[in-house]
Amino acid sequence: MSNLVFRFATVSGQNIHWFLKRNCSVTPAQLGWLYASICVVSLGIGTFFWVQGARLIMPFAWLELAVVGLAFMVYARHATDGEKISLQDGQLVVELENAGRLERAEFQREWVRIEPKAGDHSLIEVSGRGRSVEVGRYVRPELRPALAREIRMALRGA
């Protein structure tokens, strides 16, 4: 296995890991700080005009912050989504995280199949012994066949 070259995987001793993550430019912590700064600015401006006599400004400022906060929460909930595929001790382990929910599937190396679900640019179906999961959501569609070949190559070389 040491002579295999991987594009998507990390090799650690006899174990091979694929970490496929959503491409997010802002972490949830950074988003929290951004939201706090938006709140300070918006409420500061709203307070200034409220003191000047514009009484309806504050309800609209709070409504605006509630809507922006809701949008940021939806974004932050999915910012850590990802797929972890591990080949270790003769087993292929697939862990899918979506909105904080973790789904785990284990497959025996000898019985697992790696195939595109429909066509070349579709998700990759990992199946074996009556169970299947789809991976490759966070890889560009044109790179999914290369990822599938790499996983197959690792399974053969293990």
Whether residues 14 and 86 share a domain: the answer is: yes
Give the mean pLDDT of 99-110.
92
Q: Are residues 43 and 15 in the same domain?
A: no
On whether both 73 and 96 belong to a single domain, the answer is no
Whether residues 114 and 49 share a domain: the answer is: no
Strand segments, DSSP code E, in 30-121 are 82-88, 91-98, 101-108, 113-116
Residue 65's pLDDT is what? Answer: 97
30-72 tens-digit pLDDT: 999 999 999 999 999 999 999 999 999 999 999 999 999 999 9
pLDDT tens-digit series, residues 123-155: 999 999 899 999 999 999 999 999 999 999 999
- The answer to whether residue 43 is domain-embedded is yes
Give the pLDDT confidence score for residue 158 in this predicted structure: 55
Domain that holds residue 48: 28-78
Say yes or no: 48 and 99 in one domain.
Answer: no
Are 43 and 87 within one domain? no
In terms of DSSP bridges, do strands 113-116 and 82-88 run parallel, antiparallel, or are they unpaired?
unpaired
Contact, 22 vs 82, CB < 8 A?
Answer: yes
Q: Are residues 147 and 87 in the same domain?
A: yes
Let me know whether 133 and 94 are in one domain.
Answer: yes
Do 36 and 111 fall within a single domain? no
Percentage above 90 pLDDT, the chain:
68
Query: Of 154, 157, 151, 156, which Cα lies nearest the Cα of 135?
Result: 151
Helical (H) or strand (E) element with 17: strand 15-21
- According to DSSP, the β-strands at 101-108 and 91-98 are antiparallel
Asked, for residue 4, whether it belongs to a domain, the answer is no
Claim to verify: residue 48 and residue 93 sit in the same structural domain:
no
pLDDT value of position 4: 66
Q: How many CA atoms lie within 13 A of 27 on its CB side?
A: 3
Residue spans of alpha helices (H) in 52-102: 57-78
pLDDT confidence of residue 86: 95
How far is residue 81's CA from residue 63's CA, in Å, rounded to a whole number? 29
Number of domains in the chain: 2
